[in-house]
Amino acid sequence: MAKLRQVLQQELAGLHPRLRLAQLLLWPLPANTSSHLRRAVLAGLGFDIGQGTRLLDMPTITGHKKLAQYLSIGRHCQLGTGCYFELGAPIRIGDGVVLEHQVLLMTTSHEIGLSVRRADLAYARPVTIADGARLGARSTILPGVTIGAGAVVAAGALVNKDVLPHTTVAGIPAKIVRETADSLPDHVA
């Protein structure tokens, strides 16, 4: 019986009943509506989500630990539809960040092992998205990466290294394509 209990605990470690219930309750809401309700429900579950943040859809949130302690989203952010947060380690999102549709933030991976099993020991490293950054649609951020303040990640980019503040990166793997101005042009101000 002890062995069965241990197996069940391992297999169900990623099941978070309150989060699943919230997802089921919010599922009927169409995308691009009720963003404040989604924020309020996640905040009610203990997630740190700043005022003025808009969730255009319910993000997929996975992990094996106390999820609410591993995700922090700042004020006045916008999360597009289909975003995916894998919380094996903390994900910290600053103020004024925009995540476009289907952004993937990963915190766990595996070391490369011998030829008989390439996925060796698992590891988890935090992901940080600093204030004012913008992550383009379907961009992927890998474990341990920090996206600097005001940085732009182009759509479809795969980011496996830190991105300097106020730079734009693109490609697979992402490389700097230009520095981004820190101030608005005169015609926008």
DSSP 9-50: HHHTTT--HHHHHHHHHHTTSPTTS-HHHHHHHHHHTT-EE-
More confident residue, 64 or 152: 152
Spell out the domains of the chain, with CATH numbers in brackets: 17-179 (2.160.10.10)
- Is the backbone peptide bond immediately before 173 cis, with ω within 30 degrees of 0? yes
Q: What is the DSSP letter of 68?
A: H
Are 106 and 89 a contacting pair, CB within 8 Å? no
Are 67 and 16 a contacting pair, CB within 8 Å? yes
**Is 36 tagged catalytic?**
no
Query: Pick the catalytic residue: 76, 101, 110, 166?
Result: 110
At 22 the pLDDT is 75
At 4 the pLDDT is 77
97-118 pLDDT per residue, tens: 999 999 999 999 988 877 787 7
More confident residue, 70 or 44: 70
At 119 the pLDDT is 72
15-48 pLDDT per residue, tens: 677 777 777 777 777 787 778 888 888 888 889 9
Is residue 189 scored above 50 in pLDDT? no
State the chain's mean pLDDT as an integer: 88
Q: Which two tokens stand for residue 2?
A: 């002890």
76-91 pLDDT per residue, tens: 999 999 999 999 999 9
What span, in angstroms and rounded, lies between the C-alpha atoms of 70 and 53?
18
At 14 the pLDDT is 63
Spatial neighbors of 96 by CB under 8 A, at least 6 apart, are 74, 75, 76, 77, 131, 132
132-167 pLDDT per residue, tens: 999 999 999 999 999 999 999 999 999 999 999 999
Is residue 65 scored above 50 in pLDDT? yes
At 89 the pLDDT is 96
